[in-house]
Amino acid sequence: EVQLAQSAAEVKKPGESLKISCKGSGYTFNIYWIGWVRQMPGKGLEWMGIIYPGDSDTRYSPSFEGQVSISVDKSISTAYLQWSSLKASDTAIYYCARVDWDSYYMDVWGKGTTVTVSS
């Protein structure tokens, strides 16, 4: 079964750093993009960016470029989303999803990681 397992919920203070993870299983990890999607409390979905594990090619939404960093360790089939200095406005659920290599739709989703940033 194709699955994406996301890391547990995090509670952080403003200014702290954070790296959350997304581990793929049940398929050939290297040949599908992994995407990240933000959902702020009570709001809609926001496309953040995608990474191709085969060569680490990364594409960001202009809204998130420079605000987060997406990376991958293909040896352990895991993608990451990282912040160097969190803000309260980063409080959200972050979903990872498998992205079709050709048409870029998100066909398998993780359950989400809740990130809470509060002083």
Partner 1 sequence: EIVLTQSPGTLSLSPGERATLSCRASQRISSSYLAWYQQKPGQAPRLLIYGASSRATGIPDRFNGSGSGTDFTLTIRRLEPEDFAVYYCQQYRSASGTFGQGTKVEIK
Chain residues binding partner 1 by CB under 8 A are: 35, 37, 44-47, 50, 59-63, 95, 97, 100, 102-107, 109-112
Q: How far is the CB of 79 from partner 1 (least distance, A)?
A: 16
Q: Which residues of 50-86 are buried (b: 16+ CB within 10 A; e: fewer)?
A: bbbbeeeeeebeeebeeebebebeeeebbbbbebeeb
Shortest Cβ 75–partner 1 spacing (Å): 26
What is the C-alpha to C-alpha distance for residues 47 and 49, in angstroms, rounded to an integer?
Answer: 6
For partner 1, give the closer residue by CB, 4 or 18: 4
Tally of residues, the chain:
119
Minimum distance, C-beta of residue 14 to partner 1, in the bound complex (Å): 27
Using CA atoms, how far apart are residues 64 and 60, in angstroms rounded to an integer? 6
Q: Which is nearer to partner 1, 75 or 102 (CB)?
A: 102
Q: Which is nearer to partner 1, 19 or 104 (CB)?
A: 104
